[in-house]
Amino acid sequence: MWSLVTRCTRGCARRRRRRKWPSGIRSLRLEIVFLLRCLALAAAVDHTLKVVVIDGNMEVVHQSNVQFDSELPEFRTVGGVHLHDDRLTVTSPVLMWVKALNLLLDKMKRGGLDLTRVSALSGSGQQHGSVYWRRGARETLTRLDQDQDLDLDLHQLLQRFTGNQIMKLRQTRAEEFQDTERISLVSSFAASLFLGDYAAIDHSDGSGMNLMDINTRSWSEICLEAVAPGLARLLGTPLPSTSVLGPISSYFVRRYGFSPRCQVVTFTGDNPASLAGMRLKPGDVTVSLGTSDTVFLWLQQPRPALEGHVFCNPVDGQAYMALLCFKNGSLTRERVRNQFAGGSWELFSAALKDTPLGNHGNIGFYFDTMEITPPAVGVHRFDRDDAEVSSFGPQVEVRALVEGQFLSRRLHAERLGFSARSRVVATGGASSNKEILQVLSDVFNTPVFTMDLSNSACLGSAYRAVHGLVAESGVSFFDVMKNSPEPQLVASPHPAAQEVYAPMLQRFARLEERVLQQRRT
Ligand code: ADP
Measured N-to-C along each axis, helices 434-444 and 394-415 cross at an angle, to the nearest 10 degrees, of 50
Question: What is the 293 CA–ligand 1 centroid distance (Å)?
Answer: 10
Q: How many CB atoms lie within 10 A of CB 335?
A: 15
Residue 329, ligand 1, Cβ within 6 A: no
Compute the distance between CA of residue 239 and CA of residue 200 in angstroms, rounded to an integer: 6
Terminal Cα-to-Cα distance of the chain (whole angstroms): 49
Residue 428, ligand 1, Cβ within 6 A: yes
Q: How many CB atoms lie within 10 A of CB 420?
A: 16
Whether residue 121 has pLDDT greater than 70: yes
Q: Which of 330, 405, 431 to mutate to test the pocket of ligand 1 (most atoms within 8 A of CB)?
A: 330
Mean pLDDT of 192-201: 95
Atom 11 in ligand 1: residue holding the nearest Cα: 429
pLDDT at 158: 41
pLDDT at 240: 97
Residue 433, ligand 1, Cβ within 6 A: yes
Residue 290, ligand 1, Cβ within 6 A: yes
Atom 23 in ligand 1: residue holding the nearest Cα: 433
Residue (of 210, 172, 170, 202) closest to 186 by Cα position = 202
Question: What is the 33 CA–ligand 1 centroid distance (Å)?
Answer: 29
Question: What is the 427 CA–ligand 1 centroid distance (Å)?
Answer: 10
pLDDT higher at 41 or 182: 182
Whether residue 1 has pLDDT greater than 50: no
Residue 330, ligand 1, Cβ within 6 A: yes
Task: Give the pLDDT band (50/70/90) at residue 21.
Answer: very low
Atom 25 in ligand 1: residue holding the nearest Cα: 430
Strands of the sheet with 129-134, listed across from one edge = 155-158, 129-134, 180-185
Whether residue 111 has pLDDT greater than 60: yes
Mean pLDDT of 389-417: 96
Calculate the average pLDDT of the chain.
85
Which pTM was predicted?
A: 0.82
Burial 221-237, CB ≥16 within 10 A → b, else e: eebbeebbeebeebbbe
Measured N-to-C along each axis, helices 497-520 and 434-444 cross at an angle, to the nearest 10 degrees, of 90
pLDDT at 29: 46
Question: What is the 301 CA–ligand 1 centroid distance (Å)?
Answer: 32
Secondary structure letter of residue 239 according to DSSP: B
Q: List Cβ neighbours of 456 (8 Å cut-off, separation of 6 or more).
A: 273, 274, 277, 278
Is there a contact between 493 and 447 (Cβ–Cβ < 8 Å)? Answer: yes
